[in-house]
């Protein structure tokens, strides 16, 4: 199941697989580091206002793909 959340800095909407819960990810819009919330804390709330969803400033959702670090990248350089 996916986790849907927003950037506290710029309100960019993001979606990530539940395996990413607790990770720090950069916002693709403003670059702020955001901790992905747990699945329990992502219940959708009521819409803020129907007027804000129309026009050129319509909210855009970005899907993030979490890739676990490989064992070769966790080794210290010699």
Determine the pLDDT at residue 9: 93
Determine the pLDDT at residue 59: 58
The gap between the terminal CA atoms of the chain, to the nearest Å, is: 40
- Quote the CA–CA distance of 10 and 32 in Å, as a whole number: 9
pTM over 0.75: no
Per-residue pLDDT of the chain (78 residues), as tens digits, is 889 999 999 999 999 988 889 999 999 999 999 999 987 644 555 555 554 444 445 556 666 776 666 665 445 554
Contact assessment for residue 38 and residue 22, using Cβ atoms and an 8 Å cutoff: yes
Which residue is it, tokens 């819009």?
29
Helix/strand/coil for 8: coil
């Amino acid at each position: 199941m996916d986790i849907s959340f927003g950037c506290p800095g710029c309100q960019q909407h993001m979606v990530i697989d539940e395996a990413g819960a607790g990770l720090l990810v950069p916002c693709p819009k403003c670059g702020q580091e955001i901790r992905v919330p747990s699945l329990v804390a992502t219940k959708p709330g009521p819409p803020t206002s129907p007027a804000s969803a129309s026009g050129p400033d319509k909210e855009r959702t970005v899907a993030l793909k979490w890739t676990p670090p490989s064992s070769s990248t966790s080794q210290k350089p010699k």
